[in-house]
Amino acid sequence: MKFWNTLMETTEIDPAIKDDVQKDYLHVKEKFKALNIPMEEDAELVFSNHIIALLKRIRERRFVEDMSDSFDEVKPEVFQMAEDLVEEEFRKEGLAVDKTEAFLIATHLTMALEK
């Protein structure tokens, strides 16, 4: 559970959802691992923190403001990878993938791919 314990020291999660967030976090991280995208440890920590924050926002149905004007900053195939990483987590909550949230994940992937 790389980074989970470290991030839990600074992240507030309602105890009622903590186990589910942890399970979903591990699921997303496994899907990320399968992509074979190398990521430096610091970058992976920031990415992991973002995933945990996103999982909380999905449950709260409170997403970041629309950034669709910036979507062209990432390659379509990377955007799709990001959507694929979190689509199931949105679907479990009866939601479509928030495109801005997918874009933000895609920026992490883009930075890792460009290293």
pLDDT tens, 51-81? 999 999 999 999 999 999 999 999 999 999 9
pLDDT of residue 12: 80
pTM of the model: 0.89
Whose tokens are 């990483």? That residue is 85
pLDDT of residue 78: 97
Give the pLDDT of the chain (115 residues) as one tens digit per residue.
567 766 676 678 888 888 898 899 999 999 999 999 999 999 998 999 999 999 999 999 999 999 999 999 999 999 999 999 999 999 999 999 999 999 999 999 999 999 7
Distance from the Cα of residue 27 to its chain's centroid? 11
pLDDT of residue 13: 83
Q: What are the chain's domains?
A: 15-60+67-113 (1.10.1790)
What are the b/e assignments for 29-51, b being 16+ CB within 10 Å? bebbeeeebebeeeebeebbeeb
pLDDT of residue 72: 94
Single out the residue of 49, 55, 112 nearest to residue 78, CA to CA: 112
